[in-house]
Structure 1
C-alpha cells in the first residue's frame, strides 16, 4: 500500500468516525441517519477507488515520498496527541461543556494537517486542515456563547464530512 493511499484511508476512517459519532441530536433523526449512511458509502468509495488506483499504479511508485512517515511525521503526531489529550484535560479542569472536546479535537487535527502540508510539501493537504481548524474554532466560540448543543454537528460531523470529501477527492485525483 502506498503512503498516499494509507493517508487517504486514515483520513476517510477518521472522517467516518467523526460523522458517525456526531450526527445525532439536535439534528432530526432522518438527517442524522442519512449523514451516517453517506459517510459509510464515502468510506467504501475511498477504499475501492484508492485500492484500484494503487493496483493500477503499483505500490512502488517513484513519487511515493520516502520518509513520509519518518521522524518529522512522528513528531507532528506526538505533539498532536499531547495537545489533544492535554487540552481536553485542561478544558475539563475549567468545567467547560463536554461538547467542546470535539471542537478542540477538530482544531488540533486541522492544525496538524496544515503542518503536515509543509512537512510533506503537499499544499492540498492544507485545505482540509484550514477547514477543520475553522470548524474547531467555530465550536470553541459556540461554547463561549452557550450554543454547545450544536458543537458536535459543526465541529464533529462537518469536520468528518470535510475529511471524507478530501479523502475521496484525493483518491479520485490519483
Structure 2
C-alpha cells in the first residue's frame, strides 16, 4: 500500500507539473491534450490506489515502513533545497522560469537519494530523467529559449512522473494476487 501511495503522490505532482506548465509557446491544442492526458494519467493511478487499498487492508501491518527516518530526512532536505534554491535564483536575477527547472532538478535528486534508502533502484530512473530535464531547463533559462523552460523543466518532468507512476503502478497491481 505504501508503494502505491508513493506512486499516487508522484502522479499527482506529475499532473500538477503538466497542468501548471503546459503553456505558450505550445499550441492551444497541444496544451489541452497534455492537460487532459495528465488528468487521465493521475486518475488511473488513483484508481490503482483504491483497488490496492481494498485488497491490502489486512496485510499492511506486515510491511516495512517506506516513510521512515531516511525518507523524512530526504524530504526535509528537498524542501530546504527547493525553497532556498528559488530564493538564490531570484537573488541572482535568474528569470522566473528557472524556478520550475530547479524544482524538477531537486525532485529528481530526491528520487535518486531515496533509491538506496528504499532499496528500489527503479525509482532512480525517473530521478535521473528529472534531474537531467531540470538541469537542461536551468541552462535554457540563460538563453533566448527561456520560453521553453516550462516545457523542458516542467511539462516533460511531469510526463516522466506520470509515466513512471502508471508503469510501476501496473507492475505493482500485476504482482499482487487478487
Sort the TM-score into its range (normalised by shorter chain): over 0.9
| Whole-angstrom CA distance in 1 between matches of 2:144 and 2:91 | 18
Q: 2:111 aligns with which of 110, 113, 124?
A: 113
SS in 2 for 1:114: helix
Unaligned runs of 5+ in 2: 173-178
User: Once superposed, which parts of structure 1, at least 4 consecutive aligned residues long, lie more than 6 Å away?
Assistant: none
Unaligned runs of 5+ in 1: none
State TM-score, norm by structure 2: 0.92
Equivalent positions of 1:131-170 (< 5 A) are 131-170=129-168
Question: Is 1:113–1:128's contact at 8 Å kept on the other side of the alignment?
Answer: yes
Equivalent positions of 1:91-130 (< 5 A) are 91-130=89-128
Question: Is 1:4–1:64's contact at 8 Å kept on the other side of the alignment?
Answer: no
Which residue in 2 is equivalent to 1:25? 24
Deviations 1:148-172 (A, max 9, x none): 1000001100000000001101110
| Whole-angstrom CA distance in 2 between matches of 1:31 and 1:19 | 11
Distance change in 2, residues 1:90/1:99 (3 Å): same
Deviations 1:54-109 (A, max 9, x none): 4334462577322x111111110111011111110000001100000000000000
Distance change in 2, residues 1:59/1:129 (3 Å): farther
RMSD: 1.4
Question: Is 1:5–1:51's contact at 8 Å kept on the other side of the alignment?
Answer: no
Q: 2:88 aligns with which of 90, 100, 104?
A: 90
Question: Is 2:4–2:48's contact at 8 Å kept on the other side of the alignment?
Answer: no
Equivalent positions of 1:11-50 (< 5 A) are 11-50=10-49
Equivalent positions of 1:1-16 (< 5 A) are 2-16=1-15
Aligned residues: 172
State TM-score, norm by structure 1: 0.94
Q: 1:70 aligns with which of 45, 68, 73?
A: 68
Question: Is 1:106–1:132's contact at 8 Å kept on the other side of the alignment?
Answer: yes
